[in-house]
Structure 1
Amino acid sequence: MSGVQRAAIVLLSLGEAQAAEVLKHMGAKEVQKLGVAMTSVGGVTRDVVAHVFDDFVDTLAQPGVSGSAADEYVRAVLTQALGEERASSLIDRILMGRNTSGLDSLKWMEPRAIAELVRNEHPQIIAIVMAHLDSDQAAEVLKCLADRVRVDVLLRLATLDGIPPHALNELNDVMQRQFAGSQNIKSSSVGGIKVAANILNFMDSGQDEVILGSIGEIDGELGGRIRDLMFVFDNLADLDDRAMQSVLRDVPSERLALALRGADAKVKEKVTTNMSQRAAEILLEDMEARGPVRLVEVEAAQKEILAIVRKMAESGEIQLSAKAEAFV
């Protein structure tokens, strides 16, 4: 049973009022994942619930840390788990992100609503906002902006190395106009080429090339560096066998069969060689039985799988090849 499913069982057992109080302290994606899990863990036996709660109580009984000691504990654990370079940006997002409540509130909004919110702002402000969103959400926002604005925003985001004080003040003004009770935001390290590449990974096929082409005309070297860091579906062939097996455990078989319809032969081979013989046969049979499918459906399935891979890489569950690691 996954951690999300175990958490769902605990929440379901607490009752509506208590569960609601817990969910108030979580982010949008956490609430969504838990909500899905809570609807899918029905029929759990009393023994399983008791076992989950025993583990939960044991976890609560462990000695904890607080205050500044907690920050150092988080920093040390993440560095030990992910390595200095990979952990540094994640640590910044976790520890410094506590001071960006105004920006965090945007994560609960529809991408089109965010685009309307920032449409008339300076591209530098839009770039900072985009840097604080999850890459898939930022890509959806980017799709809602005018073509000329897309290029300008992504160019600024790729060259963003920390947030200058004047830009933070402008951003704080935007938040004050839109949300009550905004607070001062401390400077943090966000944006950069990796973020720009990751956002482009979530753009529709063709849109990413248009934006990259425009950036290349302005700054050829920068466009090339962004392109080098982009992680596409065919790059799955570069995963080691253990990482691929972990990915396959999290990917629904029907989405995998659809995504592989448009994949390179090396990717198909990587997938099938990391499955049991029977599972590989079922997958290939499913692909053949589907008949013709629309390209947009294949691309959507591939993007879903890439999103899973990125999340697993960011959490340290898998490691990517040297080139692919750059986007994490």
Structure 2
Amino acid sequence: MSLTQTKSLSALTGPQRAATLMLAIGEERAGRLLARMHEDEVRDVSAAMAQLGSVSAEIVEGLCQEFTEQVGKAGSLVGSWETTERLLLRGLPKDRVAQIMEELRGPAGRTMWDKLGNVNEAVLANYLKNEYPQTVAVVLTKIRPDHAARVLALLPNSFAMEVVMRMLRMESPQAEALEGVERTLKAEFMSNLARSTRRDSHELLAEIMNNLDRGAEGRIMSGLEERAAESASRIRSLMFTFEDLNRLDAAGVAVLLRAVEKERLIVALKGSSDTLRDHFMKSMSERASRMLRDDISALGPVRLKDVEEAQMAMVALAKELAQQGEIRLAEGEVEEMVY
């Protein structure tokens, strides 16, 4: 419906109101505003603008007055998921609003590949291991090399090798193939990920702390204990560190040992406590434990960064095995027992 057919201001849609205001403020200012909008918003406003037709001075004046009155009444403003969703529902269809909110709650990034590049490598690897090797190969060629490397390292060995072989033989993916992969990822992975992002802030911070190096973690947690001791205590109880693997039972340790790469295990245990190292050795045969001790001794000096990366990778692997129900992790502080 063009504005030549519109009798009242209340009949205007959201995009029509935005388009009218854009025209009213002039090309230079409107151009600066459009440059800050998402491409979908630009498309909606542009489509409305192209169909405006002749706009009466009465409608323009009424719209500008309404806008200034609403801004003047607002006072202090509070932005939230709920207010954003309500605002979008005033001018967009319900299904489109649901799609936008899912995208907002998901990882940051304009394109699908930008968003995918901001997904935690353990989460992405856990999803991709169930996909076709060709699909995974396409994904790894589209995200940053450093991120792709971390994802590849967390995939099962035989599957990772198959993916690498597909990448070696891959020619430039056709547009249809890329679009198909994008649709699948958006429909199955990103939508589920967006719905699962409404998490307790303490849980999210605990996971972030697990991925910090020890120096940064210590500084941040010390500062947090001074400012919010209760929150710091809760975050610590939710954290699962490499040393917490000491609480795995013998069966769980055995499963983890079969799943982890030997080189990674050697580097990780090189920087572990004697208690944790002995805990792993007890679940091995005498010959295997002796060989592991010899390998650790023969390794020589290792950079702390390499040790921490190996240990974080083992923690990520342990969490993945726990999600699959193969081992049981006892996170946080050990609960007090009454006998």
User: What's the TM-score once normalised by structure 1's chain length?
Assistant: 0.45
Larger Rg computed on CA atoms: 2
Q: Please report the TM-score for the alignment, with normalisation by the length of structure 2.
A: 0.44
